[in-house]
Structure 1
């Protein structure tokens, strides 16, 4: 495989992509990407959870604890690209905004 070169923006998501590339991440395969949705108040509204379930399937709820605020997590399997990750974040944030939710963090185990 040749050298991977990408021009990601200088933002938080672009920084994650730069770190993944530096660690030898294989962008040519599909991965399970975890997306986290933070809510202003806990627990999230049932309607918000129903919307997320209908689009993304199984959800994992992480209630607030001594280490931080609670969040809801879902996974999407597919290629890991800047455009795909940021598109999912924008879409979910837009849908969750009426419920005090925002999707600004994601991760992939490799």
Structure 2
């Protein structure tokens, strides 16, 4: 299977090489960096209204805030890019930005 030569393509390639089933929907978690707790709470609500399962989390080591949004989906490069762009659009007015994604592999 071929993947683009960028960070998202590299992540998909790694998952594929690890034996993740690309024909089965996976729980993908997208991360949106936010400047503070209050902003994160507002953005988390916006993300929920857009159909994402969203929760706010603070990193214990860096004290940075992140909205985590999960979505059950097939691992598809174009769809991952599309969702990250949407998260950027939704978070930008709140001072946030899309900050990657991950998959929990069993």
Q: TM over 0.5, yes or no?
A: yes
TM-score, normalised to structure 2, is 0.87
Segments ≥4 residues shifted beyond 3 Å: none
- Aligned partner of 2:36 in structure 1 is 42
Larger radius of gyration between Structure 1 and Structure 2? 1
1:60 aligns with: 55
- TM-score (norm: length of structure 1): 0.84
Aligned residues: 104
Q: Which runs of 5+ in 1 are unaligned?
A: none
Unpaired runs of at least 5, structure 2: none
Question: For the aligned residues, what is the CA RMSD?
Answer: 1.6
Hey, what does 1:11 align to over in structure 2? 6
The 5 Å alignment of 1:19-38 reads: 19-38=14-33
